[in-house]
Amino acid sequence: MNAGTADTTILIPGRLHEYAIERIGAAFRVVRIEKADPALLSPDMIGQVRGIAAMTTISAAFIDALPQLEIIASFGVGYDAVDARHAGSKGVMVTNTPDVLTEEVADTALGLLINTVRELPRAEAWLRAGRWVSEGNYPLTRNTLRGRRAGIFGMGRIGLAIARRLEAFGLPVSYHNRRPVEGAAYPWHASLVELAASVDTLISVAPGGAATEKAVDRAVLEALGTDGVFINIGRGSTVDEDALAVALADGTIRAAGLDVFRDEPRVPANLLALDNASLLPHVGSASVHTRKAMAALVADNLDRWFAAGEALTPVPESAHVKRRPRS
């Protein structure tokens, strides 16, 4: 155990990566509960929790219920499940796990794009079903990456890593963020509809939350057009899934590749029914290598916070938070 942290209580609500649990358990006193519900903690315990490590929803009410809480170390780069603004306003640090998953998620995005456009999962299913022998070659795909123009919604670290890969594939790239990204040498569009209208391949890496709720709607899909391909590797909440299912069914756009959904792990039946949708079960960062690096960063943030009073990867909403003297 680290000197001085063995009596520091870290709460782990719900499931968490085993390596994070192991690392945190080696340095701190760990309390585990089924979900982030204060009713599951004794009054004593409520007064002891100084840190949370989680990959689940952490609400404002839960933060308020824990008077000694100093830090929430969230697993994942997206932290829409944590009320980070509230935490920041209460002087509670929130950390996420950026950088260590960037290249993995970008790899997955390109895989999903190619699967969607060139129908590789369906071609493999053809082979496995014996149809290559019984019926002959898999039909030529109507879609190709050749000649496509890509637009990225959410040009952060992962967006840039996807853009680099798209460039290597020979596709011109442009993007939409609220503001142009300093140092990004790609054309910026002031609105998502404008971006969609100027490309035929829209890739969303946008984070979840109120600002992006159902941002990809009927109007965006119409602007993308009948050759349009939509890829989502960010968050399901950024898409109007019903509008997307209709757009895929009625030919408003050509195809979609989705790794994320609004109500995971439930995937809407109207998307499952479509053969021009390529669907993955949220595997963007899901390799042993990358998930272990994410778990390590959760533990490293807690270690650094309690040893030195600073976090390695604070989210912007809590970047101002300083460690308070203990009451």
Tell whether residue 75 is a contact of ligand 8YV (CB under 6 A): yes
Distance CA 179, CA 177 (A): 5
CB-nearer residue toward ligand 8YV: 79 or 306: 79
CB-nearer residue toward ligand 8YV: 124 or 263: 263
Site for ligand 8YV in 82-111 (CB under 6 A): 101
Pattern 254-293, ligand 8YV, x by CB under 6 A: ----------------------------x-xx--------
Cis before 139? omega within 30: no
**Full DSSP string of 81-149:** TB-HHHHHHTT-EEE---STTHHHHHHHHHHHHHHHHH-HHHHHHHHHTTHHHHT-SPPPPS--STT--
Pattern 144-183, ligand 8YV, x by CB under 6 A: ----------------------------------------
Residue 20: strand pairing partners = none
DSSP 323: P
Closest approach of ligand 8YV to the CB of residue 214, in Å: 18
End-to-end CA separation in angstroms for the chain? 24
Q: Phi first, then psi: what are they for 173, rounded to 5°? A: -125, 135
- Six-digit token pair at 43? 């009054």
Contacts of 166 (CB under 8 A, 6+ apart): 110, 150, 173
Closest approach of ligand 8YV to the CB of residue 269, in Å: 23
Closest approach of ligand 8YV to the CB of residue 19, in Å: 14
Tell whether residue 78 is a contact of ligand 8YV (CB under 6 A): yes
- Is 282 an active-site residue? yes
Pattern 34-63, ligand 8YV, x by CB under 6 A: ---------------------x--------
Which sequence positions are flagged as catalytic? 235, 264, 282
Binding site for ligand 8YV (CB under 6 A): 55, 75-78, 101, 282, 284-285
